[in-house]
A = this chain, B = another copy of it.
């Protein structure tokens, strides 16, 4: 069964890493915004040293860009990069689903089903609902990735894990996107339960590529 979390927040740098990562993904810092070490240190009640370390880790996650002697900025996601990101994610998560189909524990399968039921219970459009939808969706993907049992795949996925919240918000605000996402999750679960790697893999690939297309479409309309 997949464990809930790996890090027990041992060092201060890890805590800053987790919190800052959440803040960036949560949209608290806008893409392109400068991240000054001193200000972050004050915010997190620590000094610049752990902040620097957290920023370097976030650079590895593709959430922050660091230029020597010029500091760190929140990474901007242009359409081409988002497409690139989602295609790599499709590749890796599809594999994860395929691996998981062969070995997932019943307990994890139940957890995945629980996420679907939680999503079904959410019908509103309030900020609180969107928050829960985003969190539950992340639960689904995290549980599945861990169920794949491939540490290297998990590590590779960390490089394409996070995109800023505004992108997710438009997605989860769209009723049809929401419905299709739920259906896709159910399809993936069906593949997993049947032990069919092909089916789980294909369903996941389709699911992620649909998200890619949705975002592409949204960004095209914005121009």
Using a CB–CB distance below 8 Å, which chain A residues touch chain B? 10-11, 13-14, 49, 52-53, 56-57, 60, 62, 68-69, 81, 84-85, 87-88, 91-92, 95, 150-153, 155-160
Given A49-B49, A91-B95, verify A152-B57 contact (CB < 8 Å): no
Cβ contacts under 8 Å, A52 to chain B: 53
Q: Complex Cα distance A158/B156, Å? A: 8
Q: Complex Cα distance A155/B155, Å? A: 11
Q: Assess whether B156 is in contact with A88, with CB atoms less than 8 Å apart.
A: yes
Q: Complex Cα distance A153/B88, Å? A: 6
Q: Assess whether A81 is in contact with B151, with CB atoms less than 8 Å apart.
A: yes
Cβ contacts under 8 Å, A91 to chain B: 91-92, 95
Q: Assess whether A84 is in contact with B150, with CB atoms less than 8 Å apart.
A: yes
- Select one of B81, B151, B160 contacting A156, CB under 8 A: B160
- Residue of A14, A49, A57, A84 most packed against chain B (CB within 10 A): A84
- Residue of A10, A87, A153 most packed against chain B (CB within 10 A): A153
Cβ contacts under 8 Å, A151 to chain B: 81, 84
CB-nearest residue of chain B relative to A59?
Answer: B57
Q: Complex Cα distance A95/B92, Å? A: 11
Cβ contacts under 8 Å, A68 to chain B: 10-11, 14
20 A-B residue pairings within 8 Å (CB atoms)? A10-B68, A11-B69, A14-B68, A49-B49, A52-B53, A53-B53, A53-B56, A56-B56, A56-B57, A57-B60, A81-B151, A84-B153, A88-B150, A88-B153, A91-B91, A91-B95, A156-B156, A156-B157, A158-B159, A159-B159
Cβ contacts under 8 Å, A160 to chain B: 152, 155-156
Cβ contacts under 8 Å, A157 to chain B: 156
Given A68-B11, A91-B92, verify A62-B159 contact (CB < 8 Å): no
Given contacts A56-B56, A155-B159, A156-B157, 14 further A-B contacts (CB under 8 A): A10-B68, A13-B56, A84-B150, A84-B151, A84-B152, A85-B152, A87-B150, A88-B150, A88-B152, A88-B153, A91-B91, A152-B159, A152-B160, A158-B159
Q: Complex Cα distance A136/B70, Å? A: 35
